[in-house]
Amino acid sequence: MKCIDIFGKTYKIEYKDLTGLPYQGQFKHHESIITVHNKLKGYELQQTLMHELLHAVLDRLSLSDVIESRVEEILVDSIATFLCENFSFDVGE
């Protein structure tokens, strides 16, 4: 299992079969776990992982408490898309 440090807190990154669920990734705040669907590859994997990492960043900055969840989803999805379209990331495929 991989881990990443975000502003002094360590989050585990796990890859699991999320087939049949309405999402491709999940950020579990209280457990400090980021889960990504293990069937994703390439751009879709990068974008999903970046999306969930951005949820963790907002959580560490205590912004998740003051941003409406719908707005947070739009924000993290837009930033994740921008980053993945303009930069290359090694996500350990």
Can you give the pLDDT of all 93 residues of the chain as single tens digits?
899 999 999 999 999 999 999 999 999 999 999 999 999 999 999 999 999 999 999 999 999 999 999 999 999 999 999 999 999 887 765
pTM: 0.92
* Phi/psi of residue 92, nearest 5 degrees: 70, 35
Distance (Å, whole) CA 12 – CA 51: 15
All structural domains of the chain with their residue ranges = 2-86
pLDDT at position 93, please? 57
Secondary structure class of 30 (helix, strand, coil) = coil
Q: Are 25 and 15 in contact (CB under 8 A)?
A: no
Query: Residues 22, 24, 30, CA angle at the centre, nearest 5°?
Result: 90
**2-86 CATH:** 3.30.2010
Residue 67 near residue 46 (C-beta atoms within 8 A): no
